Structure formats: C-alpha cells, structure tokens
Structure 1
C-alpha cells in the first residue's frame, strides 16, 4: 500500500503546483473515516481507496481526481456525508465523489436490475464529468485484483460477469486498453477457470520451448526497418489468455490452430514512418491478405490509432504486428485519460461522441433489462466504417444495417427511413454493411419505425429508439380504443360529460390528464364503474354486478330451426358484422364480413345475418408476440384473468429470438370485451405485438 508521503510525491512529480496540504488532509480523512473496517483479504479497508488513488497517479490525473479516489467510499461506507466532503475539500470534489457514490447504493437489487440501474447512474454521472468513469474503472480494477479473497463463489462470479459485460467494454470505449485487458483476464479466470488454467499452461509450455524465438523475430523486424533507415523500438508479447480463448470460441479452433498468438509492436517517431515501416515489412515478409487495418487514417471512436498487419515468419508462423508512433502508443494504452491534463476541464460529452448515444439510450429504454441489453450493444467492440454520400464517417458494429446507420446519423433520420442505397444501389434495409460502404438513406415524411426492424438491427441506439417508437404508437392506439369505449360509458351517465368533468375524473383516478384516462380505459386499467363514479359520484349505485362469462348466441336472418356454426377461420363474436354461407345438407356457417375465406364460398348461398338481442359469449382468436424473457407468459395470463377471459387453446407458433409468437383462443362476451383484451395486451410490458386473427 502506498504511504501518505509516497502518494503526495507521485502527484507532485507531474503537478508541482498541487496542493500538498489538501492531499495530505484527504489521505488522513479516508484513514480516519474507514477506521477499523477490514477487506475480505484481511487488509485495512482504507488500503483500497489509497491503491485506487495510486492508479490515478499512474494516469497523471489532477488533484481533484486523486482526492475523489481517496474519498470515493467514505460517503457510502462511513458516517461521512457529501456536505462534509464539500466543506473540507470543495464543491468539485464533492460532485465527483457523489457521482461515484451513487453507483454503489443498489447492491440489494436483483442482478439484472442492479446492473442496469448501476449502469444508468454511471452513464448519467459520466455525462457530467469523465473523471467519474476513470475513478470507477480504477476502483473496479483494484477490486478485481483482490477478487480471489471473496469466499462465496457465486459472488465472485457475479462481480466477474459484470466486469466482463460492462466495465471492460467501457474501458475499451475510452481507450484504456491496459485496464480492459487486465479486467478481462481476471474475470476470465473466475468465469472459465478450466479454460483459463488450460490456456495459461499451454502458454507456459510455449515459453519454455521458445528458445529465444520472440527475441529473434523482434530483432529481424528491427533489422529490416533499420536497413531502410527507419529507427524504431520493437518488442513482442503473447496475446493474453482471454483473447486467445475468445478467438478459439469464435472460430471453433483448437489451441494448436490459433496461429497468431504472438503480437509485436513497432514504435516510430512520426506518422509518416508508420506507413514507411508498413511498406518495408510487407516487402521483407509475406503478409496475410485481409488482415491489414489502418486505424491511423480512420481512428476508432475512442481515439485509438495504429496500423495492424499479420505477417508470415519463416513461411509458416503467423505474427501480428502493430505499428504506431510513441505518442499514439501512450494514447492507445490509456485513451482519454492520457488527454485529461490536470488543468483541463472539458466536459466528457464533448470528448467522446458515443457517450451522447448512451445517454439517449438511457432515456429511451423502457426497463432495466432493456437498458442493459441496449447499452451492452452500444459499448461492445468490433467495428466497421461506413460513409454518408458527403463523406462523413460513422463507426458501427459488425453486422450493422442501413437502419443502424440511419439511427447513428440522427434519431429522426432513423425514424423516417423507408429505404437505402448502398454504394449507389437500392438494397434491402436488412442488408449488412461492410467496411467502406457509402450509405444513402431514403426517408419518408410520414414514415415511422417498424417492429420488424428489431429482427435485424444490431446497435443499442437503434433498438432502443425502435422500441420506444413502437410503444408510443401502441399507446396512441390503446388511447384511441379508450376514447371509443369512453363514449359508451358516457352514454350510460345521467348527465352530459364535458371536458372539465373528464379532467376532474382523471384527477380523481390519480391520472395525469384526459389522454392518460383514455389510455387507462383502453388498457383496462380502470373499470367502467370507476370511471362513472369519478365523473358522477353515486351513478353506479343501481348498476348490476359485471355479468359472468356465459354463452347466449342467437342469429337474426335464419329460418327458424336452421342450424348454424360460428366459423373457425375468423371466429366471429357478438358485435362483429356477420354474413352466412349456406350449403346443402351442411347448415349455415357464420363469418365476419371481412373474412378472407368468404372468397371460397362461390358455391354457397350468402345469407345476410345479424346478432340477436343480448347475444354474448363466443371464442375469439388472437396472435400475441411476447418478449422472450422470464415471466412474460405469466404476465399475459394475468391480463386475461383481470379481464375475465378464459383461455381455450394456446399454441406456440414461432420462436424468433428475442420473441415468441403464440396463437390462442379465448372466450369473450362480445367485440367490446375482445377489444379491451387486445388493448390491455398491447399495453403490457411483456407483449411486443397483439392482434386479432
């Protein structure tokens, strides 16, 4: 653990103007506040914030960040308050400490909700100041270094999974590759212990049988460049076990067939030397086609710059070579942190454009699971580059489509997309983009996002925006159904209902406004009785109870004694417009007027029919698309139970992750009853789509 004077000396080395007294006071404050608290390792708890502060000095961050690292657990784990911190260390430190502290207050939540809520607060705090992220990443890295001291394996697994899914990708997105690699390695050890042990053992065997091969390759590369007049530094290293395991899993390869386990780094003085070095190496060694990447002319979103190529050494061994300047190397290892000079106070949102997309996803996501899914999609790596017709460059994940591209350009453009041209040719919206594609989005003034897009878009921003638009559209549809149902309710009241009475009814039912009331009626969140009582108190006193579901069907227009059947193709219910098909010796088959099967009735007599008075009770057929996650089937069943509908038949007709499609028959009183159920299903968080068949 760093001693007090050692920490201060580290800061003073790169910032001679740092307030030594303030740093000393912060060190003493965290030691006093954490007192006798102990970590799982048996070390005093204050050793953790001190080590996190030490990691911040490695990045040469300003004194406010160092002090934040020292204090980041005091408000959460001791009697200290944000007000105390502000009084002793100033408003800027208090704001940063508060940003980090808010992430830790949700440990009792369910795993997905906890992780998602953590991420939500994390992203919002990041949007205020990137240093919150830097402290949190250092905090997580040190916790991962000591994770093996935690006794409960399930807790170690949970922390490792969260690190692999959230923190390592975030470290990559701000260019902190050293943090990312170490987090992945430590998490991999917990999540896949057998694979970790096997690969590390094989790497150790390779090292023992190396006979100086790594040094020999590095020397040959350096000599080839030196003879061309390019002075460089060259060194080789193994790819770490997680990177190797990931390649084995993705390509279904055994360890022996992973050929480019060795990676070599070439550091030059200038950018021009990088390209000269590339030409020399491609002349001196055979290069592997399709493995060259130029991240200097088109840097990654996090600022990463380098030339990547893969060479054949001794005609059989593949080695990866990364060529960059020394300045690029510094930036690549520590990313945005390398640019965060101690007197710079730029907002994080101005430094990293992808952060704006993450904040937009926070606003658009409907629930914790959805937020976690969308944000994971937004921060994972493996990017391709595509251009607008005017030459603007956008980075997207592999597998991205024109719809993803449109939402990356602007949310409104994505919402208005009706078609796309890729490299001048009209192509389907589900076409996957490739590096260098020029994408022109064709938009329509009245267009809107389609639910079907969710089957092929891959970016978190696109998925969040589409789901939000679909939910808003469905809400409008449910509210429209509610308005029609409200007219029926109003006709049963003893007085005329004006706008003021509707507003007062909404207020009485604790709803925001009239539109919210119409949605609640359409979604069956309030009953007819509740609405009538809210508008005219006492108006339901003489009303009979809601009738129990029973069948009493009569049809007008039939000769007395003639048998009839309700057609199973369209499942008419009382309230539908109906027509009969009469065939000899068969009887009359009753269809809805818009049934597609009527076209097959050319050999039958058509009979004009209508429902008899007080007809009620029939079977309606629905097509319901559920999100494929635990509990959605139960949520759908509860909608039927709340609406007094009996499920007669249920069939899973299609599995298309992340959706499951069901076809089901339900007993209903009449068309109004069926309409209420459809609208209630559409309003449910479990349901992606609901339609009557």
Structure 2
C-alpha cells in the first residue's frame, strides 16, 4: 500500500489495520476468485488519490470505505459483490473511475449496485429531505437491489459510530434521519443487532440526559443483575445438560433505548422496570431437529418456572416476515420477578442478528422469499403516483412495529397482514380486482361484512359481485398499504370515467338544445354552480347532482343579457358606416402594420395571430375587431349581425408578436410543468406572458399564455409540447 505523506501516523495505522482485517475476512469467502476480486477492488481504491480526501467529520474516505466493508461482511454477512460495491462507490461518485469501467472489471451486477449507491449519494448531495417528494427516488433506488439497502444501512451505522466527530447541527440531522428511517428499515430486514445499536446511538445524541441517566443506573445495578441471572440460569443449565442437549445460555441486558421505551410505556421510574434483561438459550442443533429441540427447552423452562400464558410467542412455527425465528416466553423467576426467555438455534440466532441476508448461507431458508415479497411490495407502492413519499414512509414505519395477523385462504395458503386488517384488506391482498368487487366474506362458515377484522388462524373466503364498485368510505376500512394504494387508484379511475360520462351527457343535451360546448361556456357553468374545477363539475352531472333544467335556464339567461347588450349597442351606434376610403376596393380589409386609416384591434375572445383565417366585426363604438373564423362567438355574430361583418386577411406583418393561450393537461407529477415552461422559453425561445395551473386527482390542467410570430411557430410549439413525457393533451384556447 502506498499512502500519502499528508496523513497522520495514526491514520496510516488505522487504514493498514482495516485493510488487513478485510483481507482476513475475504479469506473466508467461498471461492478463490472472490478473494482475488476483493483484492482487485482494494487496489483500485488505494490507487485513487481522491480517497485521501476527507468527509464532513474530517475522516479519510478510504478509511470510511474500508470500515463500511467490514460491517457489511462481519455484521450483515454479505459477500464479494457487496464488499466490492462498498469499496468502489466513492471513487465512482468522484468520477475517478466510471461505472462502465466497473462493469468491465467486475461485471454488470456490481456496476448496477454501484450505480444505485451513486444515485443515493447524489440525492444526499442535494440535501434531499425525507419530507421531500424527491425522497421517493431514493427509496425506488433502494428497491432496485436489496444490497443497495444493506450497504447504505452499513454506511449509516458507521457514520453513527463516528457521529461525535461531526458538528452539533450534523449530529441532530443525521441522528434524526437514522431514527426516522434507517433503524426501522434495519428492523424490517431483521437486522436486530444493527437496529438496536442505531436506536441507542440516536438516543445518545438526541436525548443525551436520559441516555446517560439510564446508562448510569444500569452500571449501578450491574452486580445485582449478574447475580440474579446466574441464580436463574443454574437449575436450567443442569437440566438441559442432563438431557444431552448442546447449547449455550446467557443473560442479555436490554438496550438503553428499549428500557426508555418501557419507562415511557409503563409511565414508571427506572427502579420499577423489572424486565431489564432477557435469558437466551442458543442450541447447537441440526436443521431437521431444530423445532423439536426448541420445544424441548421450552418444556424444561416452564417446568422449572411458572409461565405467563399471555406472553408466549411462537415464531418458529410461523416466522416473522423478516425471517425472524424464535420461541419467547415470560416466566416467574426467583423473588417473584418476571423474566423473558428466548429459545433459538445458532442458525436462527445468526438470522436474528444479521437479518435476511443470513439466509443466503442456508439453502432452502425461508427469508429470501420474504425479502423478495417485501421488495416487490415497496416497488408497487412507490410506483403508484397517487402516494407521496411522506405517506409511504409514515405507513412503512408504522407497519414495522405493528404486530401481524396470520390467516389462511380456502386452499390453505398462509397470508400475513398487518394487525387490524379487514376482509377488504384480505380481498385486495389476493388481487386488486377481487378487492374492487368484494361484498363480504366467510370465516368458519359464517358470513361477515367487508369491515370485519381478521384474527390469527382465520380461514377466509371472499365473496364478490360484478355489480359492486369501490366506495370512497372504503378508505376508512382498509389498513394495509397495498389495499390503500390499489383502492385509491381504482377510485381515481372511476372518477375519471364519471367525468367523461358527464361530459358526454352535457354535450348531447346541449346539442338537443341547438348549442355547442366551448371553453367559455364551460368555465361560466363551473363558476355558476360553485365547483372547484371542470373535473368535479362533470362528475356531478354524471351522478345527477345537477338538474339539466338549471343548466338550460342559465344559458337562456346569458342569451337574454347578450341580446340586451347588443340592442343597446345598436341604439347607441349612430350612422357608423365604413367609407370607401377606409376599406380596400375589393371589400377585403388587409391587416398590415402600416395600416393607419382604419382603427382595428385583435379580439381578446380568440386572440387571432398571423396565419389564422380571420374576419372583421364593426364595433358599435367605432373601429373594427379582428376575430378568427374559428372563434367561439363567430357563428353567433354571423347569424345575428351579418351586416356588420367585414372580410379580412393578413398581409405583410413581419416583426409583430401575437398573444396565444395553450391549454395543457397531463400527469400531476413533480417536474412536468417545469419541463414544459423550460422547453417553451429555453428550447423554442418563446416568451411566456403568464401561466396558471390547476391540479386534481393526479391530473394537472394548465393555461400558458405566450407570444408568437405566426401560426407556423404556434403549431410547431404544440407538436413539441405533446412529446414531453407526462403530457396528455395540448390545445389552443378559443378554438371550436
């Protein structure tokens, strides 16, 4: 190893030690090629002079990378691929080595995971807040490969261990983030040792006084506690040895964080918290004998000490979703104190300490399937645009700590759901179509409603009906993330269909009344009936919440007002006739920027621009207004005031800019509107006068008022905007 002279002797020693320890761990990898590949990654790391730069705590990046790699292999149990990724992701981030080079040296899988780690680091560089929608991208990156999650957890653990080197501000930010997301994530993956250490370290920096108080109390009571544990274990040890079992038995003091939770939950003082420790029996059993020998130990424990039946937990017959297997019981020990006893094998203990990753060492283990299911669920939820990042994280964290309920399908398949789950949750767990058509269920040959809460061991059959449709109030019945996500999606699709049906009904009815629907009339109707947007108005029509007779009365009232206004204009128009000098001899008004003998203006109702087919309308107060032939008011003007119509056409008007308004609809996703506005102003060099955006049920509707030279530019702009990802429709306002 060649180390730069700018680093201290102590740092050189730390790097050398970590380097040797990692190589030692690498020697235990399964294949000879594994060790060679790890050494190759180490050499690339140490050749990169950028690794001798320092992180926010002033530590060398090379040391950080080595220590993260040690956590990955020692405490999580991952192998070559994850170690190489942890060593190389910072050089890739600093562009000392490209992802393509990583792919050439180590293959596509290593390059993919390293690329995922770089994405995470880049999001952190942007100070991405957990309560920012961009955090969804971070979580989606996590969901690409489980090793991305595990490496980031190792990185966060290593940072927490060195947190005292950071500033007070960084300590609060990092510990808050770890407590909010990464400790729960470690728990979800079964990394109990890491989860517990993270929680303790978070408390150490976020609740320092209470942390120090409990630590001091534990130290003061240590001798008495050890004496009690020895007395409790002695008779059990003798009996287990007499039965020929191979085991180790020890007492384990609970973490400071868990003791603090008990103090809060029981609303008591430290002295009154009796279950400060747990006894753990770890058996050396063959896989085929594991369950039988665990129950054998359980029998010995409950023979010696009186058990509390309500505190018995069997996670051997039905393991937790994160792969955790163990028997737990609470018994009455000496001095009438309740003591928790955990019974498991060495394999189960390794899974409990290292989580789902430990299952990779045991072929046929139950954890890998559970991990795949969890990742699949994360992807489904995150890819649903209805759910924002904050909702997901909050629900994700709640699901971790809530108990689970185990129920069976009619065929006997076991399904695991969140405690409090209902028949409707179970229906959506089976399939979204089953959930949408669910009308109830049957448990033990007894019919139950959709809101019936499930209990452990229930055999559940779902009843459906083709006439059933999802209801808004179902959101108050379901509790699982999957059911909520699928239900919201179904409701949004229904509402969209209702709005389309409402539009069809309105267009058909107006046609019967000899009217046509245009934007002006539609906006007037929405405003008159008091709806927030067009979508809600159309749904109300479809659901017969608006009387069509009221719509007709409203239109007739508008007509009466317009007729009265026009009659007033006619009475006030005194002998206004355009002279022959003012108009061309062929009775066609030529619109030209040099035209000075005729007072004309462009009508605001349709905003004509150069290239549109146009006509002139003689205004009652003098002058001529220029309208498009496709103006929403054109038909009415031509029918009622044909004698005031003047033919018109464009001539040389180069250099002029005209105002036009585009209506754009699309998916209501972060960045879409920004992409549109940037494309208009930067790519096409078109000036934006104003824009307004309305959003509803995952769809946005925006009006962009712009300045263009002619219709050719406008049509090109419309065509280009339609190609932007997330855009549904683009249309010009004021066209029929």
Q: What does residue 92 of structure 1 align with? A: 109
Q: Contact 1:399–1:458 (CA<8 Å) still a contact in 2?
A: yes
Equivalent residue for 2:89, pick from 49, 67, 72: 72
Q: What does residue 344 of structure 2 align with? A: 324
Q: Contact 2:437–2:468 (CA<8 Å) still a contact in 1?
A: yes
Q: Contact 1:11–1:18 (CA<8 Å) still a contact in 2?
A: no
1:189, 1:482 → 2: CA distance?
A: 60
Q: What does residue 230 of structure 2 align with? A: 215
2:115, 2:123 → 1: CA distance?
A: 14
Closer, same or farther: CA 210–280 of 1 in aligned 2, 3 Å? closer
1:342, 1:292 → 2: CA distance?
A: 27
User: 1:388-418 deviations in whole A, cap 9, x for unaligned?
Assistant: 2332222222222222222233333222222
Aligned-partner SS, 1:112? coil
5 Å-filtered alignment, 1:553-568, equals: none
Residue correspondences, number: 525
1:343, 1:297 → 2: CA distance?
A: 19
Query: Structure 2 length normalisation: TM-score?
Result: 0.64
Equivalent residue for 1:235, pick from 219, 230, 250: 250
Equivalent residue for 1:405, pick from 426, 438, 458: 426
Q: Contact 1:147–1:156 (CA<8 Å) still a contact in 2?
A: yes
1:79, 1:291 → 2: CA distance?
A: 56
Deviation at 1:299, TM superposition (A): 1.0
Deviation at 1:185, TM superposition (A): 1.9
Q: What does residue 141 of structure 1 align with? A: 157
Deviation at 1:354, TM superposition (A): 2.5
Aligned-partner SS, 2:416? strand
Q: What does residue 457 of structure 1 align with? A: 478
1:340, 1:530 → 2: CA distance?
A: 68
Q: Contact 1:308–1:322 (CA<8 Å) still a contact in 2?
A: yes
Deviation at 1:380, TM superposition (A): 4.3
Q: Contact 2:93–2:118 (CA<8 Å) still a contact in 1?
A: yes
**Structure with greater Cα Rg:** 2
Closer, same or farther: CA 529–119 of 1 in aligned 2, 3 Å? farther
Deviation at 1:518, TM superposition (A): 9.2
Question: Does residue 476 of structure 2 align to residue 476 of structure 1?
Answer: no
User: 1:277-330 deviations in whole A, cap 9, x for unaligned?
Assistant: 111111110011211111111111222111110011015211111111222212
Closer, same or farther: CA 247–543 of 1 in aligned 2, 3 Å? farther
Gaps of 5+ in 1: 503-516, 545-678, 686-693
Question: Does residue 352 of structure 2 align to residue 339 of structure 1?
Answer: no
2:276, 2:177 → 1: CA distance?
A: 27
2:381, 2:394 → 1: CA distance?
A: 10
Deviation at 1:473, TM superposition (A): 1.9
5 Å-filtered alignment, 1:349-364, equals: 352-364=372-384
Equivalent residue for 2:55, pick from 31, 39, 51: 39
Question: Does residue 133 of structure 2 align to residue 117 of structure 1?
Answer: no
Equivalent residue for 1:295, pick from 315, 338, 342: 315
CA RMSD in angstroms comes to: 3.9
Aligned-partner SS, 2:417? strand
Q: What does residue 62 of structure 1 align with? A: 79
Closer, same or farther: CA 228–144 of 1 in aligned 2, 3 Å? same
Equivalent residue for 2:67, pick from 46, 51, 67: 51
User: 1:60-87 deviations in whole A, cap 9, x for unaligned?
Assistant: 5332221111012233344433123223
Aligned-partner SS, 1:469? helix
2:262, 2:430 → 1: CA distance?
A: 31
5 Å-filtered alignment, 1:126-275, equals: 126=145, 130-153=146-169, 155-210=170-225, 212-268=227-283, 269=285, 270-271=289-290, 272-275=292-295
Deviation at 1:387, TM superposition (A): 2.2
Closer, same or farther: CA 406–211 of 1 in aligned 2, 3 Å? same
Deviation at 1:493, TM superposition (A): 11
1:113, 1:434 → 2: CA distance?
A: 37
User: 1:345-398 deviations in whole A, cap 9, x for unaligned?
Assistant: x99778532322222112224233333334334544522222223322222222
Q: Contact 1:34–1:78 (CA<8 Å) still a contact in 2?
A: no
Aligned-partner SS, 1:539? coil
Q: What does residue 301 of structure 2 align with? A: 281
1:168, 1:229 → 2: CA distance?
A: 39
Aligned-partner SS, 1:445? coil
